[in-house]
Amino acid sequence: MSRTRVVVTGLGTTNPLGGDAATTWEGMVAGRSGVRRLSEIPGTEDWPELAVSIAAPAAVDPTDVLERVRARRLDRSSQLALVSAMEAWADAGLEQPQADGELDGDRIGIAMASGIGGVQTLLSNYDVMLAKGPRRVSPLAVPMLMANAPAATLSLQFGARAAVNTPVSACASGNEAISLAADQIRLGRADIVVAGGTESAIHPLPMAAFANMMALSKNAGDPATVSRPWDTARDGFVLGEGAGALVLESYEHARARGARIYAEVLGTGITADSHDIAQPDPEGRGGTRALQRALADGEISPSDVAHVNAHATSTPQGDVAESLMLHAVLGAHAEEIVVTSTKSMTGHLLGGAGAVEGVATVLALHHRLSPPTINLDNLDPAVELDIATKPRDLPLGDIVALNNSFGFGGANVAVAFGSV
């Protein structure tokens, strides 16, 4: 593969902290939580009683942003993806929508991931069928619920006719999309790729399923304090929803049009555990190899790494395994880097997590500032990392930040971003 430089020229997100990148970044730096009680979330009034009482919904309803007719033809996951991608596209200084022919659609790609897909559409139409009969099922149900609906929606929005991909690797999906997008540019198949991930699974069925497998926190206390990565009192993740999008572009293409560059994608690594369908390898061997591959791909020395936006979901096993990975790859330097988990504020966005955290990682490099991990009162002694509990300055000069994502099925993805 060529060593074509891949850079980030646009950012967009909508998630529990805000409806755009600027508001989200402000919330992260301020250490604000987007977690709420289910009773405070519209539409949950008729839900059955669950073992879980909290979730992290998007702060801005996407139907308040999109045209009404268009929004009704999209699953909520596609709505969130479209909102975030439109922001990223405009932030990159590109036409919105791409219509006047200045860009070659054959050189524009999409890599928009989802871990579950259009589950809201699937389950709501099943309810309609049971209550009113098969003929009342929406004729748009399949194009709304299919996993590649968000990516297809973006392809239509931006006139993208290069590869339009939908990585599906559970909670690693969003980060895998960034890796895939970088590969498409390096392979010469596209000049611009809109990459990211989306998820909207706050629904009683997936929440009951996650709760029954002991993955979700059942803490009924203050919602803002429940997501607590690395803390000794952590007992599971908080389910959130949202999307993140990054415009990736070849350096030559970005420079030719005078685009602002936030950061560079230096290297990526993708591996699998082949250990268990849900539990991580307790020694973190698969994740270790993903990190090693990302550093090797970017020709990065461990001493170059200054910051890590960790996957750290607030689960007992996963948080410790990730600490072991970082020590295995970075050696003694692992204790010198600034580590954070923005899931402490957003909850876990599943297929959208890696993308929203990719946006946060790029902004951390851009502003030379690590957002904090909130709710870390008592660090697990098995975790030997320097975790930021307040905003922390990052070094000047050329530095690297890692964005880690791990998912059910043993999926591991690491993306290394470099400062510019």
Q: List, by residue number, the catalytic residues.
A: 171, 311, 348
> What counts of helices (H) and strands (E) characterise the chain?
13, 14
The rounded distance, in Å, linking the Cα atoms of 61 and 226 is 23
Of 387, 233, 256, 247, nearest to 310 by C-alpha is 387
Tokens representing 235 are 């007992």
Pairing of strands 263-272, 6-14: antiparallel
Amino acid in position 25: W
The rounded distance, in Å, linking the Cα atoms of 171 and 411 is 8
Q: At what angle do helices 173-186 and 353-367 cross, to 10 degrees?
A: 70
The rounded distance, in Å, linking the Cα atoms of 400 and 187 is 23
Pairing of strands 36-37, 108-114: unpaired
Of 256, 200, 252, nearest to 56 by C-alpha is 200
How many other β-carbons are positioned within 10 Å of the β-carbon of residue 395? 11
Amino acid in position 231: D
Pairing of strands 338-340, 369-370: unpaired
